Amino acid sequence: MAPEAGAGQALDRADHSTALLRVEDLSVQFATSRGTVRAVERLSYHVNRGEILAIVGESGCGKSVSSLAIMRLLPKQTARIPNGRILFDGVDLLTLGDEPMRALRGRQIAMIFQEPMTSLNPVLSIGEQIMEPLFIHLAMTPAEARARAVELLGLVGITDPERRLEQYPHQFSGGMRQRVMIAIGLACKPKLIIADEPTTALDVTIQAQILELMQDLCRRLDIALVVITHNLGIVARYADRVQVMYAGEAVEQGVAEAVFADPRHPYTEGLLRSIPRLDRPKAGRLATIEGLPPNLLSPPAGCRFAARCPYKVDACGQEQALLPVAADHWSRCGRSADLHQGPSGWLTPAISEKPVRADAKPMVAVTNLAKHFEVGGRLLGGGVAVVKAVDGVSFTVQPGETLGLVGESGCGKSTVGRLLLKLETPTTGQIDFEGVDLAGVEDQALRDVRRRIQVIFQDPFASLNPRMTCGQIIAEPLLVYRLVASRQAARARVAELLGQVGLFDYMAERYPHELSGGQRQRVGIARALAMEPRFIVCDEPVSALDVSIQGQIINLLEDLQHRLGLTYLFIAHDLAVVRHIADRVAVMYLGRMMELAPRDDLYAEPLHPYTQALLDAAPVPDPVVEKARAARALGGELPSPLRPPPGCVFSTRCARATDACRQIVPTLEEKRPGHWVACIHVT
């Protein structure tokens, strides 16, 4: 307890009338074949009633493990808690038996897991899953439970709840499934909700709806909420207090405004500087946190962040305590005063402008592109059901340019990418690549095109063969296309490619599971570069990565573009990332193009209501800025692509919609120089 004296004193000073949860000196360890993993050490914090606490940090820092310890859901075979207390409403949860804990779990403490589709039972109706805890914990009758389930669905904003109770999870959108998870969590009116990455898989608009709903419920029902996330924009918009974790330890705690305005630990400062800002023009490269977290089988004796810290001194090799640095603000750094007074140790060097020639012939020219899919079953009036995944899309990409493609899930972004890669065949329209119409390209000509067009996938683990080493993965296209004369030449080329993406040559002998997420993504980039492409489709290449790793990959993509003259189609839903990396931005909605403009023009003055709604919904990692913004969630659900609305496809969710909008299909027109919009209200 001695090293945590500062934190302990802070907890002792907490208002006991509102401190619902108090975690004191908690440690969690896992027994493995290689030794004991010290996953969480000396963790202390508290959460008040009606308060939102955000826990942030890189993957593996102990965020989820500490929350599973609170829920008593750690695997008994391998996990142990050598010390600490978890006081919930004055009761130490670690002293409870299994039966009392089961009675408490779901009734007083609820947990919302990251992926709703894996948490919901696919063979049970939504109603059955919401009513189950009501039967178990509150002993309600079927009629009472059904009435409560209808009430809960209405509470979380799901329309027509009576009918929805009979439906199954696969019949709900991602946002609606997450709302169902919240409804289940709220079913028994708990005092504490733990939400583990509740919006990671959701679009920015649905994310805003879910989080505003949870914030409102916390305030109205006096529920304590712990949100685990790596999205610092979410923390800035919704959290009252924030706890930053690194390598199993809390390195900084405090009121959100204080932590964001005056970070007093180098890791927190590095996180804040490594993320692109939606509200600021691009000023240079992102400041990244190089290196990897320590191995928790044998963590360093002193500061666990020292090996990656630009402020490191000899004293950092000694034990560091979590101590107060200001009112309701603590830091585990002996140099916290230097951070407060001196200049930042993180460098953000400027980057030269890319040599994009607007007057050059386009590398890619897409004209009236459409892709329709026939789905199972027939419509009530007869005929085959058809989904118009892409409907009349046109754009160009100049040599050396990055075109950002944004929009909600299901808008057709990835389908456009697959069409450009010739993994799908267009229903109608034309795709010209370097003057060649891809529609007529077959056999050897297609092989030549595939050399010049490559892809970087969203999930590096799913796109890499787990049975091949990284060297074999990168060498495979070299050998298949006979780009090297021998296997020895292939090994030399693999070493060269690994160096280009910032990896060591010995990593060629490792398998994908032996690398971190960021390293795996670098291997995926190296594989794409092996073909010496001219054009790369980047399909959500950083969405699955931690903030610090995301910054490294973004800088790498920019460096490669400058050095090799690459051209990118960058598909993403993170508008801040797109603002940083793209030259122009295209916005899609339900298969159609809504807006296309130079990056700075679109972010400074979006003309289409949908683009405005996307930017309003995206959070900025600054609590002061967030309070001043007129941020609001886009209402309603994305219409079914099987039955798109007549006229403008956005009319069902647009505040400016008129009768004309429901009758006229707007075309993409150049309203201002280089700024194209599909809206009859924009002149």
Residue 195 is predicted with a pLDDT of 92
> For all residues of the chain together, what is the average pLDDT?
87
Pair 591, 389: CB distance under 8 Å:
yes
- pTM, full prediction: 0.85
pLDDT digits (tens, 9 = 90+) for 208-246: 877 888 888 888 888 999 999 888 998 999 999 999 999
| pLDDT at residue 10 is higher than 60 | no
Query: Does the pLDDT value for residue 633 go beyond 80?
Result: no
User: Where are any strands of DSSP class E within 65-143?
Assistant: 79-88, 91-92, 109-112
Q: Once rounded to an integer, what is the mean pLDDT over residues 639-644? A: 80
Considering only 5-9, 306-310, 453-457, which range has the smallest mean pLDDT? 5-9
Length of the chain in residues, anyone?
683
CA angle 346, 348, 349 (to 5 degrees): 130
Does the structure show a pLDDT above 80 at 421?
A: yes
> Pairing state of beta strands 192-196 and 109-112?
parallel
pLDDT digits (tens, 9 = 90+) for 548-572: 888 888 998 999 999 899 999 999 9
Q: pLDDT band for position 358 (50/70/90)?
A: low
pLDDT at position 514? 85
Q: Which CATH superfamily is domain 1-97+197-203+224-340 in?
A: P-loop containing nucleotide triphosphate hydrolases (3.40.50.300)
Among the residue ranges 117-121, 405-409, 492-496, 582-586, the one predicted with the least confidence is 117-121
220's enclosing H/E stretch is helix 204-221
Is residue 5 over pLDDT 50? no
What's the CATH number for 351-359+371-433+536-607+645-683?
3.40.50.300
What is the model's pLDDT at position 6? 40
Asked whether residue 58 carries a pLDDT value surpassing 50, the answer given is yes
The answer for residues whose C-beta is within 8 angstroms of residue 292's C-beta and 6 or more apart is 308, 516
Residue 108 near residue 89 (C-beta atoms within 8 A): yes
Cα–Cα distances (Å) from 119 to 122, 451, 683, in that order, read 9, 41, 47
Q: Is the pLDDT of residue 253 over 50?
A: yes
**Among candidates 640, 682, 635, 676, which has minimal Cα distance to 661?**
682
- If phi > 0 it is left, if psi is from -120 to 50 it is alpha, else beta; for residue 189 that is left
Q: For 186-190, what is the mean pLDDT?
A: 90
Percent of the chain exceeding pLDDT 70 equals 91
Topology of domain 435-533, CATH: Rossmann fold (3.40.50)
Spatial distance between the Cα atoms of 10 and 45, rounded to a whole number of angstroms: 9
Query: Is the fold of 1-97+197-203+224-340 the same as that of 435-533?
Result: yes
293-321 pLDDT tens trace: 888 999 998 999 999 998 899 989 898 89
**Residue 515: per-residue pLDDT:** 84
The set of residues, in sequence order, having a beta carbon less than 8 Å from that of 272 and lying 6+ positions away, is 232, 260, 263, 621
Predicted confidence at residue 11, as pLDDT, reads 38
Candidate from 135-144, 163-172, 377-386, 394-403 with smallest mean pLDDT: 377-386
Q: How many CB atoms lie within 10 A of CB 577?
A: 25
DSSP β-bridge partners for residue 571: 405, 539
Classified as helix, coil or strand, 128 is: helix
Tokens (6 digits) for 83: 């010390």
Q: Where are the beta strands (DSSP E) in 512-591?
A: 535-539, 567-571, 584-589
Question: What does the domain layout of the chain look like in residue ranges?
Answer: 1-97+197-203+224-340, 351-359+371-433+536-607+645-683, 435-533
User: pLDDT higher for 391 or 13?
Assistant: 391
